[in-house]
Amino acid sequence: MRSSSALNLALWQCPYAGSVAEALSRLDRAAGQARGQGADLLVCPEMSLTGYAIGTDAIRALTEPPDGAMAQAVGDVARRHGLAIVYGYPEQHPDGHRPFNAVQMVDADGAPVARYAKTHLFGAMDRAQFSPGAEAPRVFPWRGWRVGLLICYDVEFPETVRVLGLLGADLVLVPTANMRAFDEVPRVLVPARACENRLWVAYANACGRDAAFEYGGLSTLADPGGIIRVQSGREEDLPVFTLNPPAVRNAMEQPPWSHRRPELYRLLTAPPRTK
């Protein structure tokens, strides 16, 4: 069953804080501001609580399980302001390997709803700091919507969003730390993923600089027709937009699934050929 109620979604585009304590303080203020604008859900950037390019030692020192102190603190913020929050953090690997680059969603009552570990790691820094997630993205129900989670580079692979579309997703949430050199992602790929799968894609990016990168901003919300409904500039921003369920239903009147021919696509899952 498709979603039946409107959803007010906030994209928090922000620079990284200097510490977890500062990040949580900023999150508290942003959550209050978002709720004041009527938001039901706040989506934060990738690794929003710790920073992204902070090095392997710092990442290991800050790694926690999904129910760790950071999760408890975010749950407190969600309860205090009465809205759901999607945030990024380094998650402990069960086998003691490099941690996962993870996101978790907590509901307005502070209870965990879903989590996801980034499956496609970008560049040497990502691979040095993290282990790739081993599980495909999943769809979970939330307030009448069917939602999926991805992280940054994941959305650049058409297969990831297609999997969520095939599972019946209405909305894909993508915390990200995209650099300024890759503006084609929010400007071209995000609306393309939304259009080709007939679902909403919400892409919340970081902005500003850290020791390693300049982040590009341009946080984007694209509707099921591929139309960009929200796109921030380069600076900190907190837009709130109402997602309309009829937009999903109308788009799905002509779903892309019915004319697919999977038997012709086997090469997509075959190991790459070597010369």
Q: Which one of 14, 44, 64, 118 is the catalytic residue? A: 118
Question: What is the distance between the alpha carbons of residues 264 and 80, in angstroms, rounded to a whole number?
Answer: 51
Question: What is the distance between the alpha carbons of residues 140 and 132, in angstroms, rounded to a whole number?
Answer: 21
Catalytic residue list contains 195: no
User: CB under 8 Å to 229, separation ≥6 — which residues?
Assistant: 221, 222, 223, 241
Question: 118-148: string of b/e by CB count within 10 Å (b at 16+)?
Answer: bbbbbeebbeebbbebeeebebbebeebbbb
Total residue count of the chain as it appears in this document: 275
Which residue has 């790739």 as its token pair? 132
Catalytic residue list contains 46: yes
Contact 185, 193 (CB under 8 A): no
Q: Which one of 46, 64, 91, 156 is the catalytic residue? A: 46
Query: Three-state SS for 118?
Result: coil
Question: What is the distance between the alpha carbons of residues 16 and 45, in angstroms, rounded to a whole number?
Answer: 9
Amino acid at 134: A
Q: Which one of 14, 44, 64, 152 is the catalytic residue? A: 152
Catalytic residue list contains 184: no
User: CB under 8 Å to 115, separation ≥6 — which residues?
Assistant: 66, 91, 102, 103, 104, 105, 149
Contact 52, 62 (CB under 8 A): no
Active site residues: 46, 118, 152
